Amino acid sequence: MVLSAPAVLLALVPIWYVADSALDAGWHTIKRTVFRERVADLLGNTLQLCVLTMLACLVLGLATAWLVECTDLPLRRVWAVLFVVPLAIPAFVNSYAWISLTRSVSGLSGAVIVTALSYFPFVYLPASAALRRLDPTLEESGLSLGLGPVAVLWRVVLPQLRPALFGGALLVGLHALAEYGALSMLQFQTFTTAIVVQYQSDGEAAPMLAGVLVLLGLLFVTVEVLARGRRRYSRTGFGTARSRRETRLGVATLPVLTACVGLVALALGVPLYAVGKWLARDSGWEGSAVWDAVTSTLQLGVFGAVAAAVVAYPLAWAAVRGRGLVTTAAERLPYLTSALPGVVVALALVAAFADVDGLYQTTALTVAAYVMLFLPRALVNLRVAIAQSPPELEQAGRALGVSGLPLLRRVTLPLIAPGVGAALAFVFLAVCTELTATLLLAPTGTTTLATEFFTAADELDYSAAAPYAALMILVAAPVTYLLLRQHRRGHLP
């Protein structure tokens, strides 16, 4: 529990900042900046976006996972790849692609389309991993006890998918809460875009709006905790689970295939086509500037990923093995922080460290901001991995006289290594596309692919933005491939 302290402390800094600013401003200012029509509009927009995107991702993620894992869909190995690859395309690049091709994608429908196409792999990955790991004997027991196939799906299969589905949906929801780039390009206003606007215009309302955002995050997290329950999800049976029988699609094969092609065309085809199209125009590449952005992006990405995984590990462990009220609360706290836009987290760090020479505007503090923002991505993966490694193995290790670091190295880590890999990969991908915290905190003169992309995209200079978009996809591609391989071997939570 003590080792979880860094994670908890880091997560608390921005929340403390938001609460402190609100207290400072006083009730009068809170009343004037929060209880007004514009905020009601923003609340409506934000909630609609989150709920619709989560639902769309649940449907897309579960349907694609089921098709790949449980049916005789042709070319399943190809689809298994294609349903993960959208991870390599940042939401704001997706948004840029759509808006640069057609202005009709905008408002709520546009925002839901773009975010759902970007985020559905967050549900697909855990759902397909969980489906693959299901022991078919449970379903057979259900059938033999007189349940129909629909009832089996509803009462046996879906309950076992709960941690995967809810965990995935929670990630999608928190992403949607904190998304700035993609939504601002689509002219869709949410709390996060409004906070950035307030901050860019000397508004005092930014921390108040962030306070409302924290409460929204709290709501999401609580719902997820309540929905997940406290059951055991690792197998209890002996030996290896038998592989499942495939459901035959029959006459539905063709329509289903068409739907899959359509989904991939929208999620991958559109952004790749748009980036390619703008790349083909003359955009005046400046080699050295691009190279600087690539190296600093990679450096920040690696540091951020390692730091987040290390800080998250003790907390994830405590949350799974401890499972008390305190650990659950501690483990959920980082989720709240991650619902905040990068700019708020960065402001908190500016407020706290502006006068600390040697720390302010260094890579170290920037990495700390990434840990605050992206800890849940590491936690989700580590937690599921730890939950699925039977505690009996660690106990056996202890009984045989191995403890401490050797136990971690010889028993726990090999068991959860895929989860660690996934945690690193997810945080790396997130850092590579982070914008607002990087702008405020990175050492002066540092540019990243995301900051350069945004400078150009903000001026709607699509062809100048294209090289950076392409490079972000290129940087993300190997990491996505890694995730995919882990996933295929059944290693991913």
Partner 1 sequence: MKAAAVLPIATIALTACSGGQDVPADALVIYNAQHKSVGEMWGKAFTKATGIKVVLRNGKDFELANQLVEEGAGSRADVFLTENSPAISVVERAGLFTPVDAATLEQVPERYSTTSGNWIGIAARSTAFVYNKDKIQPDALPKSILDLAKPEWKGRWGAAPGGADFQAIVSAVLELEGAAATKQWLAGMKANFTEYSNNIATMKAVNEGESDGGIIYHYYWYRDQAENKQDSGNTALHFFGTQTAQDPGAFVSLSGGGVLKGSKNADKAQQFLKYITGAEGQKALADSAEFEYSVGSDVSSNPALKPLDELESPIVDPSKLNGQTVITLMTDAGLI
| Cα–Cα dist 33/206, whole Å | 9
Q: Is the dihedral of CA 100, 101, 107, 113 positive or negative?
A: negative
Calculated CA dihedral for residues 194, 340, 14, 352, nearest 10 degrees:
-50
**DSSP bridge pairs for 71:** 247
List the one residue from 172, 379, 423, 440 that touches partner 1 (CB under 8 A): 440
Stretch that binds partner 1, among 131-139, 164-172, 186-194, 485-493 (CB under 8 A): 186-194
Q: Does residue number 102 form part of the binding site for partner 1 (CB under 8 A)?
A: no
Q: Which is nearer to partner 1, 202 or 250 (CB)?
A: 202
Token duo for residue 317 = 């462990």
Calculate the CA 335 to chain-centre distance: 11
Least Å from the CB of residue 169 to partner 1: 29
Contacts of 252 (CB under 8 A, 6+ apart): none
**Shortest Å distance, C-beta 19 to partner 1:** 18
Nearer to partner 1, 361 or 486 (CB): 361
Chain positions 399 to 418 lying near partner 1, rule: CB under 8 A, are 404-406, 408
**Segment near partner 1 (CB under 8 A), from 237-245, 249-257, 267-275, 312-320?**
312-320
Contact 314, 383 (CB under 8 A): no
Nearest distance from C-beta of residue 147 to partner 1, angstroms: 44
Q: Which residues pair with 247 in a beta bridge?
A: 71
**Longest CA span, the chain:** 70
CB 456 within 8 A of CB 468: yes
Of 74 and 107, nearer to partner 1 (C-beta) is: 107
Give the CA count within 13 Å in the CB-facing half-sphere of 441. Answer: 28
Closer residue to partner 1 in complex, CB, 20/72 = 20
Among 101, 299, 488, 491, interactor with partner 1 by CB under 8 A: 299
Considering the rule CB under 8 A, would residue 444 count as an interface residue with partner 1?
Answer: yes
Confirm or reject binding of residue 80 to partner 1 (CB under 8 A): no
Please choose, out of 134-142, 227-235, 356-364, 386-394, the segment that lies near partner 1 by the rule CB under 8 A.
Answer: 356-364
Number of residues that bind partner 1 (CB under 8 A): 62
Query: Which residue, 85 or 432, is less far from partner 1 as judged by CB?
Result: 432
Of 89, 176, 367, 476, which one interacts with partner 1 (CB under 8 A)?
A: 367
For partner 1, which stretch binds (CB under 8 A), given 45-53, 313-321, 324-332, 373-381? 313-321
Q: Token pair for residue 68?
A: 């790949």
Tokens for 343? Answer: 């700019």
Q: What is the DSSP letter of 265?
A: I
Selected binder of partner 1 within 368, 373, 424, 479 (CB under 8 A)? 368
> Tokens representing 26?
């006083």
Segment interacting with partner 1 (CB under 8 A) among 70-78, 272-280, 298-306, 390-398:
298-306
Give CA–CA dist 445/345, Å, rounded.
Answer: 21
In whole angstroms, what is the distance from residue 125 CA to residue 87 CA? 10
- Cα–Cα distance measured from residue 273 to residue 292, given in angstroms and rounded to the nearest whole number: 26
Question: Contact 284/346 with Cβ under 8 angstroms?
Answer: no
Nearer to partner 1, 257 or 351 (CB): 351
Using a 10 angstrom Cβ sphere, with 0-12 exposed, 13-18 middle and 19 or more buried, the burial of residue 90 is buried
Under the binding rule (CB under 8 A), the answer on residue 199 touching partner 1 is yes
**CA gap 479, 377 in Å, rounded:** 14
270: tokens are 């559109």
**Binding track, positions 206-245, relative to partner 1; x by CB under 8 A:** ----------------------------------------
Near partner 1 by CB under 8 A: residue from 239, 325, 357, 401: 357
Q: Is 198 in the site for partner 1 (CB under 8 A)?
A: yes
Give whichever of 118 and 361 is closer to partner 1, judged by the CB atom: 361
Nearest CB to partner 1, comparing residues 160 and 366: 366
* Nearer to partner 1 (CB atom), residue 252 or residue 354: 354
Q: Is 203 in the site for partner 1 (CB under 8 A)?
A: yes
Token duo for residue 449:
């692919």
In terms of CB distance, is 88 or 309 closer to partner 1?
309
Task: Give one DSSP letter per residue of 391-420, joined into a string.
Answer: HHHHHHHHHTT--HHHHIIIIIHHHHHHHH
* Residue 240: DSSP 8-state: P
Choices 47-55, 81-89, 332-340, 456-464; region in contact with partner 1 by CB under 8 A: 456-464
Residue 205 sits in the site that holds partner 1 (CB under 8 A): yes
CB within 8 Å of 441: residues ≥ 6 apart: 346, 349, 350, 361, 365, 366, 369
- Residues in contact with partner 1, shown as a per-residue x/- string from 336 to 355 under the rule CB under 8 A: -----------x--xx--xx
Binding site for partner 1 (CB under 8 A): 3, 6, 32-33, 36-38, 41, 103, 184-185, 187, 189, 194, 197-205, 299, 303, 306-307, 310-311, 313-314, 317, 347, 350-351, 354-355, 357-365, 367-368, 404-406, 408, 439-440, 443-446, 455, 458-460
